[in-house]
């Protein structure tokens, strides 16, 4: 293909630790699918950068010629991957591009016109945006679905139900069980963990004598499935907690910090302010296996001890076996408070939690290996980002599947058909939300959390079953979802389901 090309960092599966660049060229689709053969002609049209920024990026890489792969097919022979959630399309908006991945090439686009093309072999979805009543139907047998879901699972419980997640063939999620795991997406590097303690213990003790609480809580998103405030409120009865966010607020934030409190970035003034606390309450908004965010990694980075509730498997990813305090290891908020007070009064015991700041004390080989072998980077321009990485994973998988299908058709006796591949509940798998403290049957009927999250969870199961039914019936109108949900409920009530 002539002319319009640029360099993109992309997947380099199997070559861990080796940086590889992929050669990307632009193509676009004709408006009518009957004119597919004009693809290459259209491809020669003038390239129009969408913004000043993409203009710049384009200019800075346009002259690089990457190594590519051994895939010599022209654009019109390549399978097409369609990004259903255009907002996340990791290329210039509106473009169709050729991606040259580690073993094969594909075209990628966010143009929904290609939905029913024979060549469109896979549709990529963004989990947070995925809505059953907007799904691309009918689902074609030759098309796989790929799910990218790195954000909070509270945004879409649909994906936590078996019937929902099993609709997808490939996943990139926070779960280590997913096909392209993003588990450490919030941990930029090992160096981030090894950063020296910001406020030394003597200074923290001096601040304690001046009246600073031992524990920090800083949360402004209060109505969440993990119901964290209910736990923290109980904990506050037994130990002093300074709470600056909107949730359970008991202290005003100093004026010079107000603007930055809700920022997700690591503004130095704000960072130094929170680093003065010995303990940070770090409770995720949803409690799912392997869902861990900056709430956990940031205190470790700063040299404060996270008091954590979130992923049940968090210990598997910690620098060693004494760097985090896991809330659910304590029988009650009071028992936890007693333990925190004990550490607060025993410098040697407290300091053990920060031993990992010395490289020798990072003993978790699993963590080290995961950081070393992941192919994507976090805020690291020298590595591919995980969107491009996943897209290439799907591309290579699809090309391998197509090749296996061709081989099977040619010589069915010699070549087995490719095995179907689909996701399982372990790829997201967040359980039914439970109250942050106490039993659900003890909550009053008008409890705010009770009225939202358990219902949201069960309604999303209805939607998963409804979409499964739409697909099974080869429906092409996703808005029939509600009718299918109703039918399922009716036949269930009649004891038929």
Ligand X SMILES: *[C@@H]1O[C@H](CO)[C@@H](O)[C@H](O)[C@H]1NC(C)=O
Binding site for ligand X (CB under 6 A): 138, 144, 166-167, 169, 401, 420-422, 474, 476
Q: How far is the CB of 288 from ligand X (least distance, A)?
A: 21
- When the beta carbons of 145 and 457 are compared against ligand X, the nearer one is 145
Q: How far is the CB of 471 from ligand X (least distance, A)?
A: 8
Cα 159 to Cα 139: distance, rounded to the nearest angstrom: 18
What is the three-class DSSP state of 363?
A: coil
- When the beta carbons of 190 and 404 are compared against ligand X, the nearer one is 404
- When the beta carbons of 420 and 495 are compared against ligand X, the nearer one is 420
- When the beta carbons of 422 and 488 are compared against ligand X, the nearer one is 422
Q: What sign has the CA pseudo-torsion 394, 44, 88, 457?
A: negative
- When the beta carbons of 366 and 472 are compared against ligand X, the nearer one is 472
Q: How far is the CB of 341 from ligand X (least distance, A)?
A: 52
Q: How far is the CB of 388 from ligand X (least distance, A)?
A: 23
Burial 285-324 (b: 16+ CB within 10 A, else e): bbbbbbbbbebbbbbbbbbbbbbbbbbeebeebbbbeebb
- When the beta carbons of 171 and 302 are compared against ligand X, the nearer one is 171
Please give the structure tokens belonging to residue 142.
Answer: 């030759």
Q: How far is the CB of 168 from ligand X (least distance, A)?
A: 7
Please give the structure tokens belonging to residue 356.
Answer: 């990992």
Beta bridge partners of 216: 242, 280
Residue identified by tokens 């999250």 is: 453
Q: What are phi and psi of 300, to 5 degrees?
A: -65, -40
- Of the CA atoms within 13 Å of residue 176, those in its CB half-sphere come to 14
* Total length of the chain: 497
Q: What sign has the CA pseudo-torsion 269, 271, 277, 281?
A: positive
- When the beta carbons of 222 and 407 are compared against ligand X, the nearer one is 407
Cα 297 to Cα 167: distance, rounded to the nearest angstrom: 32
- When the beta carbons of 115 and 260 are compared against ligand X, the nearer one is 115
Q: How far is the CB of 403 from ligand X (least distance, A)?
A: 13
- When the beta carbons of 301 and 401 are compared against ligand X, the nearer one is 401
Structural contact between residues 145 and 169, judged by C-beta atoms closer than 8 angstroms: yes
Distances (CA, A) of 129 to 150, 285, 347, 390: 12, 18, 47, 17
Q: How far is the CB of 404 from ligand X (least distance, A)?
A: 10
Q: What are phi and psi of 494, to 5 degrees?
A: -85, 0
- When the beta carbons of 167 and 216 are compared against ligand X, the nearer one is 167
Q: How far is the CB of 420 from ligand X (least distance, A)?
A: 4
Q: How far is the CB of 136 from ligand X (least distance, A)?
A: 12
Burial class (CB in 10 A: 0-12, 13-18, 19+), 480: middle
Cα 259 to Cα 242: distance, rounded to the nearest angstrom: 19
Give the pairing of strands 144-149 and 170-173: parallel
Structural contact between residues 85 and 125, judged by C-beta atoms closer than 8 angstroms: yes
Q: How far is the CB of 415 from ligand X (least distance, A)?
A: 16
């Amino acid at each position: 293909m002539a002319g319009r090309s640029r360099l993109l960092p992309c997947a380099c599966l199997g070559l861990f630790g080796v940086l590889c660049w992929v050669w990307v060229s632009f193509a676009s689709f004709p408006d009518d699918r009957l004119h597919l053969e004009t693809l290459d002609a259209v491809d020669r049209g003038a390239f129009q950068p969408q913004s000043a920024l993409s203009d710049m990026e384009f200019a800075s890489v346009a002259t690089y010629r990457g190594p590519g792969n051994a895939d010599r097919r022209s654009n019109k022979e390549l399978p097409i991957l369609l990004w259903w959630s255009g907002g996340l399309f990791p290329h210039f908006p509106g473009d169709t591009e050729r991606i040259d991945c580690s073993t094969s090439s594909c075209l990628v686009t966010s143009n929904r016109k290609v939905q029913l093309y024979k060549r469109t072999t896979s549709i990529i979805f963004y989990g947070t945006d995925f809505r059953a009543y907007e799904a691309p139907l009918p689902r074609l047998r030759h098309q796989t679905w790929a799910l990218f879901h790195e954000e909070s699972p509270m945004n879409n419980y649909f994906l936590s139900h078996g019937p929902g997640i099993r609709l997808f063939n490939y996943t990139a999620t926070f779960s280590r069980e997913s096909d392209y795991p993003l588990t450490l997406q919030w941990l930029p590097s090992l160096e981030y963990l090894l950063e020296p303690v910001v406020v030394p213990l003597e200074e923290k003790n001096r601040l304690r004598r001046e009246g600073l609480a031992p524990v920090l809580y800083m949360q402004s998103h209060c109505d969440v499935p993990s119901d964290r405030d209910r736990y923290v409120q109980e904990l506050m009865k037994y130990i002093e907690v300074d709470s600056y966010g909107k949730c359970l607020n008991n202290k005003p934030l100093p004026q010079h910090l107000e603007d930055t409190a809700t920022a997700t970035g690591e503004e130095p003034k704000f960072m130094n302010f929170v680093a003065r606390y010995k303990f940070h309450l770090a409770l995720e908004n949803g409690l799912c296996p392997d869902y861990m965010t900056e709430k956990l990694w940031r205190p470790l980075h700063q040299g404060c001890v996270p008091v954590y509730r979130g992923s049940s498997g968090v210990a598997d990813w910690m620098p060693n076996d004494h760097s985090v305090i896991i809330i659910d290891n304590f029988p009650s908020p009071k028992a936890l408070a007693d333990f925190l007070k004990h550490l607060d009064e025993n410098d040697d015991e407290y300091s053990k939690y920060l031993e990992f700041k010395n490289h020798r004390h990072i003993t978790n080989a699993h963590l080290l290996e995961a950081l070393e072998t992941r192919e994507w980077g976090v805020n690291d321009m020298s590595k591919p980002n995980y969107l491009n990485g996943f897209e290439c994973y799907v591309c290579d998988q699809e090309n391998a599947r197509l090749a296996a299908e061709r081989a099977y058709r040619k010589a069915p006796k010699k070549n087995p058909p490719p095995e179907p591949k689909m996701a399982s509940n372990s790829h997201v798998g967040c359980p039914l939300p439970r109250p942050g403290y106490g039993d659900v049957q003890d909550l009053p009927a008008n409890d705010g959390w009770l009225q939202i999250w358990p219902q949201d969870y069960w309604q999303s199961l209805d939607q998963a079953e409804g979409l499964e039914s739409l697909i099974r019936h080869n429906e092409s109108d996703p808005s029939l979802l509600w009718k299918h949900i109703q039918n399922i409920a009716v036949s269930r009530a009649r004891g038929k389901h």
